[in-house]
Structure 1
Amino acid sequence: MQKRSLTNSNTTNKALLVVGIIFIAFNLRPAITAVGPLISSIRSDMELSNGIAGLITTLPLLSFAVLSLLAPKISYRLGNERSVFIGLLILIIGICIRSVGLNITLFIGTALVGVGIAIGNVLLPSIVKQKFPDRVGLMTSTYSTSMNVFAAFASGMSIPLAQGLNLGWQKSLLSWGVLAIIASFIWFPQLRQNVTANHVKKHTTSKASLWRSAIAWQVTLFMGLQSFIFYSTVAWIPEIVHSHGMSIESSGWMLSIMQFVSLPTTFLTPILAGRLKNQVSIIIGIGVIYLLGIIGLLAGQNHVLLIVSIVFIGLSQGAAISLALALISLRSEDAVQAAELSGMAQSIGYLWAAIGPILIGSLLDLTHSWTPSILVLVVIVIAMTVVGIGAGRNKYVLESKKLSPQ
C-alpha cells in the first residue's frame, strides 16, 4: 500500500511538473509578440520617433543576449526551479512597469520583460534534460509548441483587446501579466522539491572548454542563424508580400499563416530528432524547404507561389527553432552542460536575432529593392544548413566519443 501511494505521489509530481513546464512556455513569447500590432498606437501615444519605437522590439532581444549567459550562474546558486520562479516574478514586474504609461517605464519594463523571459528560455532545456532524460524529444516538442501557440495567439489578440474591448495598448499589454501570475502559482510547488543546484553536481562544465568545443559552436550558430531568419521574416514578410501587390490586410494574414503552419513541425521535429541516431537528415530537409520558401519570395505578382513560399517558410521555421532547442539537450551529457550550452547558444542567437531585422531594413533603404535582402536570407539559410550538419552529428559537445542511439 505504501509503495502504491509513493508511486501515485511520484506520478502526480511528474504531471504537475509537466503542466508547470507548459505554463512557463506559455509565457516565453506573448509579452513580446503582443507588442508588434500595437506599435503604432504606442508610438503615437508616447510621441516616439520610429527609431526609438524600434527599441521596444529589440530591447527584449538584447536582454536575452545578456541574461542568457548569466542564467546558468543564477541556477548554480539557487537551482533551476527557484531561478525559473524568479524569472516569472521579474516578468510580471516588467509587464506591470511597462504599462504605467511613461516613456522611462516603457523601456525599463520592456527590458525587465526580456530579463524574465531569458531565464526561462535558458533553463527549460536544462530542466528537461534533468527531469526527462529519456523523453527529451517529446518534452521539447511539448514546450516549444506551447510557446509558439501563445506567441501567435498574442499577436492576434492584441488589437481585439486594445480596440475591441477598449482596453487601450497599456491594458492590452498588461493583460498578459495574468498568464504569468497563473504560471507562477502552478510552478510554486516545484520550489518544495529538492533544489537542483548545479554547483553540487560532481560534473561541472568548464566554460572555457565549452566555448572551445566545435560542436558547441555549431549548435550555437545554428540557433543564431535560424533566429536571424525568423525575426527578419516576422518583421518584414508583410512588407515584402505587400510590395508584390497584396493588400495590407492580406499581407497581415500571411504573417499569421506563417506562424500557424509552423506548429505541426514545431511539435513533430524534436520527437523525430530524439529517435534518430543523428539529426543531419532533418537539418538538410529543413534547409532545402527553407531555400524553396525564401527564393519563392522573388515570385513577383504570382500570389499563389507567394502563399506556397510563406507555407514553406513557416514549416521550416517551426522545425528549425524546435530542433535548435532539442539539440541543446541532445548534445549535452547532463543538466549542467545543457544549461551552459543553452546560455551560450541563446546569448549569441538573440544577438543575431536583433541584427537581422535591422540589416534587412537597411538594405531596403540603400537599394530600394527587396531582392538584395532576400538574397541575404538565402545565404543565411545555406550557412545555417552547413553548421547544422555539424551540430546534428552524434556527439556530445565535450566528448569525442560517439553517443549511443538517441
Structure 2
Amino acid sequence: MVGNGGVGVSMTDAEKLRIQALRVDQGRKENRGRWVFIGLMVLVGLNLRPALSSLAPLLTRIQQDTGLSALAIGALTTLPVLCLGLFAPIAPWLAKHLGAERTLSFALLLLAVGLLLRGVPLSPLLFAGTLLVGAAIGIAGALLPALVKREMAVGADLMTGVYTMALCLGGALGAGLSIPLTDALGGWQLGLASWSLLAMLALVGWQTLMPRRTVGVTVADTAGSMRALLSQPLAWQVMLMMGSQSSLAYIVFGWLPTLLVARGYSEADAGWMMGASVMCQLLSALLAPWLARLGRDQRPALLVVLGCIAAGIWLLLLGPMEWRWAGVVLLGLGQGGSFSLALTLIVLRSGTSRLAGKLSGLSQGGGYTLAALGPLGVGVMLHFEAGLGRITFVLLLITAVAAGFACLAGRNHRLEIDDTGHLVTR
C-alpha cells in the first residue's frame, strides 16, 4: 500500500488471519482468567465468615468449660469485629509494599494460624487466635473490593454480589456445622480448629492461580490521601452505613443463638435457625446488586433490605413463635442484601480501583470499629440481665440509624480524582 510520498506495506491474508487468531486466543485467555479469578474470590470469600459464625453456637459450652464470665464471652465476640476495624486500614499500606496478591496470601496464612490457635485448650490462646482471625479477615476483606474492581472493571458491582454470596455461604456453613463438627470431633476446640483446613486450601489455591501483576500495579495509590478522603462527606456516609449495618450482622453472628435460647429454643434449634437465616442471605446477596441497578441510585434497595432486617428481628425475639421461620427468612434476606449493597457502594462510589482500595480500608476500618460496639453492648446488657424487649429495641434503633445513613450514601455520587489531582465528589 503506497502512502503520501512513502512506501507502505500491505498485510497478506495470512498475516491478517494470524493477527485475528492471536486476538481470539488472547480473548480466550482473558475469559479463562476472569473465571479463575471468580473461582478464587468465591474460595477466599468462603473463609471470611466461618471463623466468626462458628463461634456463636458454642458460646454456652465455651463458658461452661472455661469458666469465663458473660462479660468475657462478650469480649470474645467483640474482639474479632474490633480487629476487623483496626486492621482493615492497614491493607492498602501492605498492598503498596508487598503487592495486593502477596498481602492476600499473608492474610490467609494468618487466618489459618489463628484458627489453629483456637484449638489449643488454653483461654489466653483462644483470645489470641481470635485476635489473629479478626486481623486476617480485616486485611483480606479490605483488599477484595479493590481487587474485584481492578480485575473486573465491567460488572464489578455484580461480581461483588457473587463474592458476598460466598461470604454468606461460609457464614451459614460455620453456623450450621459448628455443633455437628464439635460433636463429631469430640470437643469445641477441635471443632473451631478444623476450619483452618479450608483456609489452607484457599491459600494454596490463591498462591497457585492468583493473577500475576507487574511491579508498580497495586491497589494502593498516592492520589487521594486518607486526609483528603476524610474531608469528603460521601466517604463518611459510606463508612457509617457500613458500620451500622455491620453492627447488626455481628450481633447476629455473636449473640443470636444465645438470644434464641433465652427465648425458649434449644441450643441445637437455635444454631440451625441461625444457620438457616445465614443461608437465606445467599439469595439476597446475589440479587441485591441487580435490584440496585433498577433505579437511579441504591436508596430504595437499601431501605427494602433494612426493613426486612427490622421485621426479622422483631419476629424472632418478640413476635409469635409460630412465625419464627418467617423471621429467619426475613432476617437472612435483609442481612445478605444489606451487606452486599454496603460492599457494592464501595465499588460504585469509587472512580478507580485504587480509590476503591482506600475507601474500602476507611469504610471497613472505621465501620467495623464502630460495629464492634454492637456485640459488646449486647454482652453488657446480658451481663446486667436486660430483657429481650430492651435488646430488641436497641437492635431496631441501630437499624433505623443504618437506614438514615443509607439514604445519604445511596445517592448517585462518586469519588474521583480531577484533572488537578485533587479528590472530589461528583
Q: TM-score, normalised by structure 1?
A: 0.89
Identify the residue that residue 216 of structure 1 maps to in structure 2. Answer: 235
Out of 398, 402, 406, the residue aligned to residue 384 of structure 1 is: 402
> For residues 198 and 152 of structure 1, do their structure 2 counterparts lie closer, same or farther at Cα, with a shift above 3 Å needed?
closer
Q: How many Å apart are 1:321 and its aligned residue?
A: 0.6
Identify the residue that residue 153 of structure 1 maps to in structure 2. Answer: 173
Measure the CA separation in 1 of the matches of 2:414 and 2:383: 43
The alignment status of 1:112 with 2:145, answered yes or no, reads no
Identify the residue that residue 348 of structure 1 maps to in structure 2. Answer: 366
Cα distance per residue 1:71-124 (max 9 Å; x no partner): 111112222111111111111222223323333333222211111111110010
> For residues 287 and 11 of structure 1, do their structure 2 counterparts lie closer, same or farther at Cα, with a shift above 3 Å needed?
closer
Measure the CA separation in 2 of the matches of 1:25 and 1:132: 16
Q: How many Å apart are 1:338 and its aligned residue?
A: 0.9
The alignment status of 1:59 with 2:76, answered yes or no, reads no
Measure the CA separation in 1 of the matches of 2:264 and 2:131: 37
SS at match of 1:192: coil
Measure the CA separation in 1 of the matches of 2:192 and 2:385: 36
**Counterpart contact for 1:82–1:191, Cα < 8 Å:** no
**Counterpart contact for 1:328–1:338, Cα < 8 Å:** yes
**Counterpart contact for 1:364–1:370, Cα < 8 Å:** no
The alignment status of 1:233 with 2:242, answered yes or no, reads no
**Counterpart contact for 2:238–2:346, Cα < 8 Å:** yes
**Alignment gaps of 5+ in structure 1:** none
Between stretches 150-159 and 290-299, larger displacement belongs to 290-299
Identify the residue that residue 309 of structure 1 maps to in structure 2. Answer: 327
Provide the aligned length of Structure 1 versus Structure 2.
398
Measure the CA separation in 2 of the matches of 1:103 and 1:159: 20
Identify the residue that residue 32 of structure 1 maps to in structure 2. Answer: 52
Out of 375, 384, 396, the residue aligned to residue 393 of structure 2 is: 375
Structural mapping, 1:395-406, within 5 Å = 395-397=413-415, 402=426
Letter in 1 for 2:183: Q
**Alignment gaps of 5+ in structure 2:** 1-20, 417-422
The alignment status of 1:84 with 2:104, answered yes or no, reads yes
SS at match of 1:148: helix
Q: How many Å apart are 1:393 and its aligned residue?
A: 0.8
Letter in 2 for 1:371: G
> For residues 52 and 275 of structure 1, do their structure 2 counterparts lie closer, same or farther at Cα, with a shift above 3 Å needed?
same
The alignment status of 1:337 with 2:355, answered yes or no, reads yes
Q: How many Å apart are 1:327 and its aligned residue?
A: 0.4
Specify which structure has the higher proportion of helix: 1
> For residues 297 and 96 of structure 1, do their structure 2 counterparts lie closer, same or farther at Cα, with a shift above 3 Å needed?
closer
Measure the CA separation in 1 of the matches of 2:64 and 2:261: 23
Identify the residue that residue 163 of structure 2 maps to in structure 1. Answer: 143
Identify the residue that residue 289 of structure 1 maps to in structure 2. Answer: 308
Identify the residue that residue 148 of structure 2 maps to in structure 1. Answer: 128
Letter in 1 for 2:210: Q
> For residues 236 and 39 of structure 1, do their structure 2 counterparts lie closer, same or farther at Cα, with a shift above 3 Å needed?
closer
Cα distance per residue 1:33-84 (max 9 Å; x no partner): 2222333444444454443344332221121111011111111222211111
Between stretches 219-228 and 157-166, larger displacement belongs to 157-166
**Counterpart contact for 1:295–1:374, Cα < 8 Å:** yes
> For residues 235 and 31 of structure 1, do their structure 2 counterparts lie closer, same or farther at Cα, with a shift above 3 Å needed?
closer
**Counterpart contact for 1:72–1:339, Cα < 8 Å:** yes
Out of 341, 344, 365, the residue aligned to residue 326 of structure 1 is: 344
Cα distance per residue 1:247-292 (max 9 Å; x no partner): 5544443322322222211110023324643111112222333333
Q: TM-score, normalised by structure 2?
A: 0.85
> For residues 10 and 191 of structure 1, do their structure 2 counterparts lie closer, same or farther at Cα, with a shift above 3 Å needed?
closer
Measure the CA separation in 1 of the matches of 2:372 and 2:194: 26
**Counterpart contact for 1:136–1:274, Cα < 8 Å:** no
The alignment status of 1:183 with 2:202, answered yes or no, reads yes
Cα distance per residue 1:1-21 (max 9 Å; x no partner): 433333332222222222111
Identify the residue that residue 117 of structure 2 maps to in structure 1. Answer: 97
Measure the CA separation in 2 of the matches of 1:158 and 1:401: 45
Q: How many Å apart are 1:347 and its aligned residue?
A: 1.5
**Counterpart contact for 1:299–1:306, Cα < 8 Å:** no
Letter in 1 for 2:218: A
Please say which structure displays the higher CA radius of gyration.
2
* CA RMSD between the two structures: 2.4
Matched residues, percent identical? 33
Between stretches 288-297 and 114-123, larger displacement belongs to 288-297
